[in-house]
Structure 1
């Protein structure tokens, strides 16, 4: 059996450290309930705050992503970590799949971004990906 936990909570815009605290608490609770993986709301690390500037988005090697990886290993739980990340020239709406050992299995950036409203300033990803999570094939898509 594959058990999925879902965090249903609103992120605090531009309060990355507080959002990271919420994620770690949710990871601990999900692990205590024997979940295999925790799914987060869209752009939970940074908050879904459009328009998002490139400067406020986070890099793939941001230390706070590493902190989540460390806690995944500590609690032995996977997580789909979501944030606005730095694309080539603009932010991307991204999701990282992190396994129970704290390894990033893949990063997906939203492919079908809208060409209108505030999302027109979000850089599209280029491909859909699949990874192996503990023998389960996982794909990510952001609506």
Structure 2
């Protein structure tokens, strides 16, 4: 990662800023309770990205929630604070996290993404994910389809 950035495990103490990013990022955001429950699962791996600011403090600007099932990593959530988007942060953060998992016998990474979310689709394709299927009416709020994307190591 770049200077001034730190990747850390998500903890209960980091949930409130994560929920704020989640709420600003998704039509149907996870609640604080959802994130707390996710932290409790043994196969869950959750990360935050902190940016050092001018007063030598760190601000959470992104997060990633995923689960490992045998040799497959399933990305559940990835979001960057709206003020920090379109700066390559998601690419660097996700790439860093995937490289970490690459040493742990992961053979496949999968995720679902809104079919209209061209920015996210472009991000994943840049990191060698491919669309391998479509889930019709996946999102209950709009009835929109999701693309199933996969990266094979």
TM-score normalised by structure 1 residue count: 0.35
**Bigger radius of gyration among the two:** 2
**Which of the pair is proportionally richer in strand?**
2
TM-score normalised by structure 2 residue count: 0.33
**Which of the pair is proportionally richer in helix?**
2
